[in-house]
Structure 1
Amino acid sequence: MIEQAYAHRYTASIIVGIVLGLVARLTMLRTDYRQYPTYPHGRIIHIALGVIAAALGSVAVPALFDKNYTAITFLTVAAQQFRDVRNMERNTLSKLDEMELVPRGGTYIEGIAMVFEGRNYLVIFTAFVGSLFTVLWGIYWGIACGAAAVLVSQIFKSGKSIAHAADVESAEVRIDGPDLYVGNIYMMNVGLSADRDTIRKQALGFILKPKNCNFRVSLANLGQRQAILHDLATTLGVYRDSGEPALVPMGKLDMNDGRLALYVPLQEPDAEKAQKVLLRVPLLESAVRMPSESAAQPKKGGA
């Protein structure tokens, strides 16, 4: 009887772990303004991978309790599988990026691919926690602790945004002869009068002031700038077609103080909406630098 009870407990733990892991994956999967993953086929792929990740996390617990330590080596196979997921996302988005009027850029694509891989590991974690506490204390405790793990996954599913890195303010898009300025920062030369007229009507300008020296380096990253321009163009619609170089959104640095000026011709030139979009652009992990932590920097208090 005891052996049967344990056998049923293991079955229950696997079921609870898979269900909670799938719930965690569904809460982390949404098609937003970036239109990725696509609906329905892209979502089907990621949901299927979420089920696989949940099964791996939940089955690992009975294997450990049965002291079948060799059985959990399949987690190494799972790690390879999810690295392949990352490669799949990278290749897919790179192909899609070739057709964008304002591309995401390689840094943004790598960040998205990294997120999709990482979220599968969060699914494994959630399934493992739910399965573990089901074996130890019963189904209700397993569900409760698994639900807490889902909430933890929500905390770790996303990183920082531009709102953490910089203050954003609107700036005048000014044309002085053929020269285009955003505030007092020179952007480029615009030769055609028709382009200058379009810029006066449709373009918005913004200046991002980094909050410290670390974020100054992050905003200088070309990949981070491209991600900002892409999100603005995707959300509010870029006012350009192919073969119009004067209407390509652009970001330029003030070399003296590290401010980043943005020039963006938009279908919907609403400064308030654009500012909200800017503040929510993700701060890319691969663009983050920490020069303040360098041993070459002077420490506070003379240390």
Structure 2
Amino acid sequence: MWQWIAEQKYTVGIIMGVIFGLLARLSMLQTDYRQYPTYPHGKIIHIALGVIAAGLGSVAVPSLLDKNYTAITFLTVAAQQFRDVRNMERQTLSKIDSMELVPRGATYIEGIAMVFEGRNYMVIFTAFVAALFSIVFAWYWGIVAGIAAILFTNRFKSGKSISHIADVQKGEVRVDGPNLFVDDIYIMNLGLEDTRQKIAEHGIGLVVVPKNQNSRVTIANLGQRQALLHDISTILGVYRDDGEPALVPLAKLDINDGRLAVFLLPQIKDAEKARQILLNSPVLESAVRLPSEADVTAEG
């Protein structure tokens, strides 16, 4: 057996690469409260794509070692395929989003699609590293390198959450005549007495306070606001049905100091739980802005 392993280094390297590439994809694939990817068919699609990505990363090593550089051009085909995966996710989620009581929003959908494309490239990297060490050194070094690559890729599995850029406080839901406020931040005008009673009974208010100038611009992004509303409504539920616009969760900005007031009517009225959910909500890559990095020089 050991003689066969020594003689078939390329075969062993490709097998090791595929195994660790698939393990990397499995470690980054989970169905959480968003129920996406769906189970089982959504997962089957992404696992199959993970196997393909792992195979591509593994086969690239023997091609390079044999100086068959033209064979590496198949990676460009793989890149096109994974861009198609991103388009598939975008189209699927966009169609589903129209059926949500509280939609994800285009920015959130683009973020999810970007993640699924990027994770396939991380699988290629893991498979390449495991195969390279297995072929150049020995199979057991391939195992060590594969485990290290999985740990490395998992560091990029998720980005920052709201807790990294802002503080979240409980706010007072207040109805002043026809006007609705969370603390001192105006939310909307209420026309019906029945709506006011429902809000008084089920309403929860939260205030997101940015930590710096960059955070202030990020949470002001409309896509980021919609993502917060979707996450909190998915976990706690929403006290409304289709055709009731007055009961839609809203996030309104105080343009003077950058605070964001979040108003919602959840099925589970628990302000502390809602606060924790908001703190753990993701910061969308497409919503991040860094105005403090601008090279602006004041004169005079």
TM class by smaller structure: over 0.9
**In the alignment, which residue of structure 1 is the partner of 2:204?**
204
Mapped to 2, the partners of 1:88 and 1:47 lie a distance apart of 15
**In the alignment, which residue of structure 1 is the partner of 2:111?**
111
User: Which deviates more, 198-207 or 81-90?
Assistant: 198-207
TM-align CA RMSD: 1.4
Deviation at 1:295, TM superposition (A): 1.1
- What secondary structure does 1:156 align onto? coil
Mapped to 2, the partners of 1:72 and 1:203 lie a distance apart of 58
- What secondary structure does 2:169 align onto? strand
Deviation at 1:7, TM superposition (A): 5.4
Q: Do structure 1's residue 256 and structure 2's residue 256 form an aligned pair?
A: yes
**In the alignment, which residue of structure 1 is the partner of 2:42?**
42
**In the alignment, which residue of structure 2 is the partner of 1:165?**
165
Mapped to 1, the partners of 2:173 and 2:64 lie a distance apart of 63
**In the alignment, which residue of structure 2 is the partner of 1:59?**
59
Mapped to 2, the partners of 1:143 and 1:111 lie a distance apart of 32
Mapped to 2, the partners of 1:7 and 1:281 lie a distance apart of 51
Aligned length: 297
Q: Deviations over 1:99-133 (max 9, x none)?
A: 00000000000000000000000000000000000
Query: In 1, are the aligned partners of 2:5 and 2:12 still within 8 Å (CA)?
Result: no
Q: Do structure 1's residue 218 and structure 2's residue 215 form an aligned pair?
A: no
Mapped to 1, the partners of 2:201 and 2:7 lie a distance apart of 71
Mapped to 2, the partners of 1:35 and 1:259 lie a distance apart of 30
User: Which deviates more, 274-283 or 48-57?
Assistant: 274-283
Mapped to 2, the partners of 1:149 and 1:109 lie a distance apart of 28
* 5+ long unaligned stretches in structure 1: none
Query: In 1, are the aligned partners of 2:202 and 2:266 still within 8 Å (CA)?
Result: yes
Deviation at 1:6, TM superposition (A): 6.6
Q: Deviations over 1:228-287 (max 9, x none)?
A: 000000010011101111100000000100000000110001111111110111100010
Deviation at 1:217, TM superposition (A): 0.5
Deviation at 1:190, TM superposition (A): 0.7
**In the alignment, which residue of structure 2 is the partner of 1:188?**
188
Q: Deviations over 1:36-67 (max 9, x none)?
A: 01100000000000000000001100111111
**In the alignment, which residue of structure 2 is the partner of 1:20?**
20
Deviation at 1:297, TM superposition (A): 5.7
Q: Deviations over 1:180-219 (max 9, x none)?
A: 0000001001111111111111111000011110110011
Aligned-partner residue type, residue 286 of structure 1:
S
Q: Do structure 1's residue 127 and structure 2's residue 127 form an aligned pair?
A: yes
Q: TM-score, normalised by structure 1?
A: 0.96
Aligned-partner residue type, residue 169 of structure 1:
Q
**In the alignment, which residue of structure 2 is the partner of 1:137?**
137
Task: Report 1:76-95 matches (<5 A).
Answer: 76-95=76-95
Mapped to 2, the partners of 1:243 and 1:205 lie a distance apart of 22
Aligned-partner residue type, residue 258 of structure 2:
G
Aligned-partner residue type, residue 252 of structure 2:
K
Mapped to 1, the partners of 2:74 and 2:276 lie a distance apart of 44
**In the alignment, which residue of structure 2 is the partner of 1:273?**
273
